[in-house]
Chain A
Amino acid sequence: MKSSSATAREKGTDLLKVRDLHVEGFSDERWHPIVRGVDLSLKRGEVLGLIGESGAGKSTIGLAAMGYAKPGCRITQGSVLFDGVDLLSMSEARRRRLRGSRIAYVAQSAAAWFNPAHRLLDQTVETAVAHGIASRDKANRDAIDLYRRLQLPEPETIGFRYPHQVSGGQLQRAMTAMAMACRPDLIVFDEPTTALDVTTQVEVLASIRRIVEDFNTAAIYVTHDLAVVAQMADRIMVLRHGQTVEEADTRQMLTTPTQEYTRTLWAVRKLAKPEIRTQDHLLAIDNVTAAYAGRVKVLVDVSIKVPRGRTVAVVGESGSGKSTLARVVTGLLPAMSGSMSFDGKPLALSLKGRSKDLLRRIQMVYQSPDSALNPRQTVEEIISRPLEFYLGLKGQQRDERVGELMHMIEMDESFLDRLPGELSGGQKQRICIARALAANPELIICDEVTSALDQIVQEEILKLLMRLQHELGISYIFITHDIATVRAIADEVVVMHKGQVVEQGLKTEILTPPHAAYTELLLSSVPQMDPDWLTGLLARRNPIFK
């Protein structure tokens, strides 16, 4: 299936050489630089990790390495030599022949990057058949072989399913199979596991790493997760604002980064706070069961106590019922059975049975500030609304309070007349927090509030939330899938799995062994900065992975 000779596949020769790459993106009626003069080179069979915060240009570089610029972007300068030929100066037809067959791409969200109208198998073999590399029959057989190598369940038949019929982790592996179909020399992995749960991530990482080694494929691995890149890459390049900060072998980069920026990236995950035990409970949830209209139960017999002025972290993978729990507590989804009490008094299960004052006392902050903020309202309107609605503040009183709130979230009052679209992700999340604070709540439910943010911004938001708790005595229910976040903010931890509470207790009790079996699986799946972590974990878990 492969055109290049066996000798050329040996490690050591340069496969990709990017020189002085400049890419621009079009927004707000003008072109902005995204990538500003990046050089990189990649040998055959080598894996290069690109790491940086969002907006650093890592995905753009990954695509540019295929000679591709997304609609709305353009490559303005530089060269991309693939196997000695410049991708940027060749004809579109020649580039098309290389794409898919010798350079392939694996995207972040496979659910969006697979065509919903076609079966997986048809999409997997499409390039090989269209480029005349293999007959349809041969390509089909090969695809099944790849599915098997990637440990997909029922490799013989899974290809006949549509993308929506398989899980996210399976889809991500199917996309890797699709990229592998023509045995390319180079694969660009663009955050292939970011959208997955940690437990699924481990399996996908292992599959990808094994198949890349098996076929001696070179890869560019784009991610913002240091611990992940440490497992996958031979070399790491740190990017910021479209420029290279530094580049080194993985081990060297992890132990002795030379740049200050790299060190701040490395330090973020070390935030931790001591827990405080208290018996004074603000909210008690007793044997609550909930389901979405006529479907299977999403929460089964859940009992949780939230201590006053403290933080309960609710952890679990997607589908464990974490967000449903938030909807039940707020009353948006009335529980089918069970009871709740708030501040010693019974709490109506449904929103309709609660007084306005009770609504005021429980507030919520969502994962995505983009969809939680009205894009047509200014920051001032957004924060003023709960002040008027719950507290009846008007005129100067209201304006003073808005000023105080802005001060609390450490933002300048000059932001008041801006629209959400003019703010950064972290600033938007601060506005969401200010809106919740405006109601003077006693309990704030934070649903994955830091998941959409870069690590440095995450840390700032977590620090802000902790300071507010310290000053105002607010209780938090902090829903998250990230164990580092739990370490940073929680007093107590609730581990959920398939709608049930697996374990709950003080943070140190839960996070130190012995664990419940599921907690063990969850905790051990969290990638560590140690480059040997994945190898070691797989060896311990399942000898067949080796």
Chain B
Amino acid sequence: MRVNPVAKTVLQRLGLGLITLFVVSIIIFSAIAMLPGDFAKATLGQAATPETVAALQHEIGLDRPPIERYFSWIGKMAQGDFGSSFASRTGYRRTVAEIIAPRLYNTMFLAVMTALVAVPLALGLGILAALYRNSWFDRLVNTVTLTTISFPEFFVAYMLAFLIISRDTFAGTDLAQSLPVWLAASIDWTLNVVPKFPTLANISDQTPFWEHVWRAALPSITLTLVIVAHMMRMTRAAIINMLSSPYIDMARLKGMTPMVVVLRHALPNAWAPIVTVVAFNLAYLIVGVVVVEVVFVYPGVGQLMVDAVKSRDVPVVQACALVFAATYILLNLIADIISIATNPRLLHPR
């Protein structure tokens, strides 16, 4: 039977993804099993007697051998049951799913919101930088994006927060007093042009949609500044790499304008490296934002995981880690599919 080669590749990657996920689950489980201390000791504190600790361990099943615990966990996971948090008590069951779901929604919200701005921005800047390569525009874009990526993200986050606070406080500072009046006034005016974004992104599940967007604005801008450089530079490099191809000379000899040369002749051949980097950065938006979440007190899944590690709430930690791994694998799979779909050699075999 002849299977479409693209479908075959996708199925292969999907299968490989599942295997990877399985391996990752073993690594996650082993890593957490190796953490010193456990939930019982962490919650009961140092004053607890060995008997109470043992009783709690038995209650939540920590006294069973690790292999048995692993298979019971992974078996339930395969059926879609994420299990219960160790914080559950008789009569007060808290499932991991219900703990993670709202946090994951928040993280996804922030990621999608950021991606919708950052990806088009990065591609656009990258294309323009390639088009006007070595011009002042190219240098400016490169310098600015390199600068923002070079600072640690918490620094960018605090600088943005500081900027917002300065709207109200600048006029009263010593710096403002020492400057000439006209300069201080114009700086003050400029600062007031910046919208008064909330510096704390505290939201709950009752927060309306646009309110959510408004409150998540500052974390989103921070993340945008962090990821744009990487994607933009790859777009620029991939296009410029294509510009030395003979078919680019041909397009020029056919009288095409530089814009058409870049958009129609170079870009379609440059997608593969670009989407790989985009996928990498989107994955970062979901799995790597914990620092930004902490700075803006944004209730995302990153913070949840850190809290769960502190309290040794193993089911939650494992579920978070597995969600992160799945995100990575899925985004890379999508990138692969796009790479194939934009390559006529693979899409339309001889």
Contact = CB atoms under 8 A, between A and B. Distances in A.
Nearest to B250: A113
A115 B252 CA distance: 12
Name the prevailing secondary structure of the B interface residues. helix
26 contacts: A68-B253, A70-B249, A71-B249, A96-B255, A96-B256, A96-B257, A97-B255, A98-B255, A99-B255, A100-B255, A105-B254, A107-B250, A109-B246, A113-B247, A113-B249, A113-B250, A115-B250, A115-B269, A117-B268, A118-B268, A130-B260, A162-B344, A162-B345, A164-B344, A164-B345, A178-B254
A459 to B, nearest CB: 30
Contacts of A98: 255
A62 B249 CA distance: 13
Interface string A67-111: 010110000000000000000000000011111110011010100
Given A116-B345, A117-B268, A66 B245 contact: no
Given A130-B260, A131-B255, A164-B345, A114 B250 contact: yes
A178 B244 CA distance: 21
A488 B251 CA distance: 42
B256 A116 contact: no
B215 interface: no
B265 interface: yes
Nearest to B257: A96
A104 B256 CA distance: 12
Nearest to A127: B254
Contacts of B252: 68, 99
A173 to B, nearest CB: 16
Contacts of A162: 344-345, 348
B327 interface: no
B64 interface: no
Interface in A128-152: 130-131
Given A96-B257, A100-B254, A127-B255, 4 more contacts: A100-B253, A113-B250, A116-B247, A162-B344
B75 to A, nearest CB: 39
Interface string B29-41: 0000000000000
A126 interface: yes
Interface of A: 63, 66, 68, 70-71, 95-101, 104-105, 107, 109, 112-118, 126-127, 130-131, 161-162, 164-165, 178
Nearest to A96: B255
Interface string B244-284: 11110111111111001000110011000000000000000
Contacts of A105: 250, 253-254
What 10 pairs across the A-B complex have the smallest Cβ distances? Answer: A99-B255, A100-B254, A117-B268, A100-B255, A115-B247, A162-B344, A112-B246, A96-B255, A105-B253, A113-B246
B350 interface: yes
A117 B342 contact: yes
Interface string B308-350: 0000000000000000000000000000000000101100101
Contacts of A95: 255
Contacts of B269: 115-117
A99 B257 CA distance: 11
B271 to A, nearest CB: 9
Contacts of B345: 116, 162, 164
A165 B350 contact: yes
B117 to A, nearest CB: 28
A22 to B, nearest CB: 21
B37 to A, nearest CB: 54
A91 to B, nearest CB: 13
B238 to A, nearest CB: 13
B248 to A, nearest CB: 8
Contacts of B254: 99-100, 104-105, 126-127, 130, 178
A63 B344 CA distance: 30
B257 A112 contact: no
Most chain A beta-carbon neighbours within 10 Å: one of B255, B268, B269, B342: B255
Interface in B206-257: 244-247, 249-257
A71 B255 contact: no
Contact of B253 (A66, A112, A116): A66
Given A162-B344, A164-B345, A114 B255 contact: no
B255 A112 contact: no
A148 B45 CA distance: 87
Contact of B344 (A107, A117, A127): A117
Contacts of B250: 105, 107, 113-115
Contacts of A100: 253-256
A107 B253 CA distance: 11
A112 B249 CA distance: 10
A164 B246 contact: no
B348 A165 contact: yes
